Chain A
Amino acid sequence: MEQDFVGMATEVSSYSNEAELELGLGLSLGGGLVKAKGSPWGEYGKIMTAKDFPSGFCGTKRAADYGGGGPPDVGYSAPPGVSQVVGWPPLRTYRMNSLANQAKVLNDEEEKRVGGNDECNGALKENMDNGSNKNDTTVKDNGQLGFVKVNIDGMPIGRKVDLNAHACYKTLARTLEEMFCRPSTTINSNCSGGQEKGKGTQPSKLLDGSSEFVLTYEDKEGDWMLVGDVPWGMFLSTVKRLRIMKTSEANGLAPSFRERNDRHKNKPI
């Protein structure tokens, strides 16, 4: 990524301070770029992640650091896979969903594939157990299960998220938070890039009720439900699309936040 900054510096002279920008460890929440003083992006008065960087590099640039070609002075190790980069490898959604649906039944290396997070193991096993059944129902109900649409209140632009890249609610919620940025940041710092699976240790705000937004989904019957109430496998078989709703509008959709908070907090990190 640094070489890209340098490239930009020659094009755009007002950004002469790029060389001073250093990448901190990890690109996940809070651990990202440390802004040098005198940076032109003075209006962002906090430590930003690469996502907040308004230069447009966002998530897609991180792939530049994967593999053999990355600049040596980047201070973190390459993540385990390429799944964080939007649209890479260049495969159509339809193909990826088809493969994923079959892989869940046949492939017992599923654990490795889905980020290897310990916190997901409980949900993962349940997913595998339900595997073949889920496969039948989901294929019949929605031939393209993997990618579902996501909208957030206040933004007309929807996104898509690949449910097959997750084995539990936690990683899904974190990915969505990254995708739409933290509600606490300024409104225009929306990200354009990847579906990053954050490796931070904070629980997802979308799930524990501490954010002003809450994650909901529309099921097969057209009802809007709060995400997290049913086992993951059942959720996958019934979800049609997602909506990140303002908490104030989500009344009556679910059991209390505190209950769900307890349920999700006991996963080892």
Chain B
Amino acid sequence: YLSNTSTLSTKMAKSFPEEVLEHVFSFITSDSDRNAVSLVCKSWYEIERWCRKRVFVGNCYAVSPRILTRRFPEVRSVEIKGKPHFADFNLVPEGWGGCVYPWISAMAGAYPWLEEIRLKRMVVSDEALELISTSFCNFKVLVLSSCEGFSTDGLASIAANCRELRVLDLRESEVDDLSGHWLSHFPDTWTSLVSLNIACLGSEVSFSALERLVARSPNLRTLRLNRAVSLEKLHNLLCRAPQLVEFGTGAYSSELRPDVFSNLAGAFSGCKQLKGLSGFWDVVPAYLPAIYLTCSGLTSLNLSYATIQSPDLVKLVSQCHNLQRLWVLDYIEDIGLDALAASCKHLQELRVFPSDPYVVDPNVSLTERGLVAVSEGCPKLQSVLYFCRQMSNAALVAIARNRPNLVCFRLCIIEPRAPDYLTLEPLDAGFGAIVEHCKELRRLSLSGLLTDRVFEYIGTRGRKLEMLSIAFAGESDLGLHHVLSGCESLRKLEIRDCPFGDKALLANAAKLETMRSLWMSSCSVSFGACKLLGQKLPRLNVEVIDERGSPDSRPESCPVEKLYIYRTVAGPRVDMPPFVWTIDEDAALRV
């Protein structure tokens, strides 16, 4: 196909002027399509690279800033991801890497017209933020998702210098909160704000500064406040921004006062465009009715910090007939999920988080039944994240049969290696049914008692599976072998505490070059195997993360603590901390 296209397009390339092709390419926005276009022929490669405006770097070490800026000179929007996903759960030691400064520095020189930077799990220093704020005169969008390393001083630079800023979104980042004063650095002349998310900040920002900011931002669509903003003052903001589409409250508690309530209810009812609500820390249930009038318009509701009980949740949720996304604590219980299944027929995504994850005995009556009910009642359900304490194969099979349209299924049974609570068998059959029926499944997280058999099902039937998370599962290398020798679409594999060792990894070494990354911690992969992989596959970085000192100080057969393997065109990285080692082609240990 490609060669035919190539011949044809070479002819076409000679007959179409570049400008026409460039214009055509401007309609091609998906990264994979753009990549395909660039492979057609040399002139298409050249045209494409000059007009690519948006770049996504899934692993900041897969490519270098220099390679990026040299190939794509006209980029306006960049998205970069740093640490592996398990960093969210403290499995990646501090100081591992993912520092964004070299990227900002390179782009400061190469992309003076850069407008958007989106970062995930990267270390962002105040210096980096300051550099951003002074290097890009047209800078519009800054999204820092699960990032860390910066303080409110860095935010002050952004506020003070980015005259064209539209989006400042700090979702779930870890910010060194020195004071709330940074917000006041936004000049009074700045009126272009569209989206502000400061939910992760601890300290109080000046409310009057916030009020003035909201009042002079007619394009404001998304406002997510932090916990420190009190409930009594909320109406002041809402009244000044009736055009809001997404709103996140602060602490949702106050003394019970009728004037506060009526102000709040009035303000909410004035926001006719409201589609999403979040926040809801410290909820006082008596104030919930203030949002009832917004419920019928809501498509997204994040109550995952709301420690309210099932009856209040049911009252709320049963009014949200257009709800597409619900994040909630397990206080909702099975009974609440029944109500959800009955009321919210447009539900696409459900996440149920545990209210008390560290006790073995359940503190709420949330079981597999709730999830089965939602799978039955919500025909559009495609994405699930569910924490619970018991599961059965029967339930999983039911869910699979009810919802073959599932795209993302992440189940966390809190107790590691918990079997089917009815039969005491492994949950192989249940998860097997999921991958068998849900043919569009792209993301899967396993839990509970699982043998190698489940991996056979996944390997053969998980054809579209792109991301797989495994913990405390499997019996032998065969399990890992099933996954690596199957799963044609696999991009990211993360494994912890499984008895997988060298054999499967070495036998399927070539597979690793077709994936973005592999993470294995507390498994049985020996240092010798890591060396072998590093030698044989120069286009992979094989990183050994071990806080016990150099792997050379132990026998080669000794398993490594953590292993992170990823494909790269940038070679071994140069910013490794003392507890990370890679192996170069000479099998020499590189620190």
Contact = CB atoms under 8 A, between A and B. Distances in A.
Contacts of B475: 3, 7
B91 A86 contact: yes
Contacts of B449: 68-69
A229 B116 CA distance: 49
B417 interface: yes
Contacts of B177: 141-143
Contact of B476 (A7, A91, A98, A105): A7
Interface string B282-322: 10000000000000000000001101000000000000000
A17 interface: no
A25 B88 CA distance: 33
B102 interface: no
Contacts of A63: 416-417, 472, 497
Interface stretch (B28-36, B43-51, B551-559): B551-559
A95 B560 contact: no
Interface of A: 3-4, 7-8, 10-15, 40, 54-58, 60-61, 63-64, 66-70, 80-83, 85-96, 98-99, 102-103, 105-107, 109, 112-113, 139-144, 147, 149, 156-160, 165, 187-190, 192-193
Given A93-B88, A95-B305, 13 more contacts: A3-B475, A7-B476, A8-B501, A67-B417, A70-B417, A82-B360, A90-B89, A95-B304, A99-B305, A102-B282, A113-B358, A158-B94, A190-B548
Contact of B227 (A60, A143, A187): A143
A185 to B, nearest CB: 12
B352 to A, nearest CB: 12
Given A54-B554, A94-B200, A141-B203, A190 B501 contact: no
B232 interface: no
Interface string B547-581: 11100011101111110000000000000011100
A15 B549 CA distance: 21
A143 B201 contact: yes
Nearest to B88: A92
Interface residues of B, number: 77
15 contacts: A7-B524, A56-B558, A61-B522, A67-B360, A67-B417, A80-B359, A82-B357, A82-B360, A88-B89, A91-B353, A91-B357, A94-B200, A102-B282, A113-B359, A139-B228
Contacts of A187: 549
A157 B416 CA distance: 29
Contacts of A103: 307, 355-356
The residue in B282, B358, B496, B547 that gathers the most chain A C-beta atoms within 10 A of its C-beta is: B358
Contact of A157 (B93, B204, B424): B93
B414 A15 contact: no
Contacts of B142: none
B415 A67 contact: yes
Contact of B497 (A61, A80, A102): A61
A54 B548 contact: yes
Nearest to B363: A109
B204 A82 contact: no
A82 B95 CA distance: 26
A157 B305 contact: no
A114 to B, nearest CB: 9
Given A89-B387, A90-B89, A140 B524 contact: no
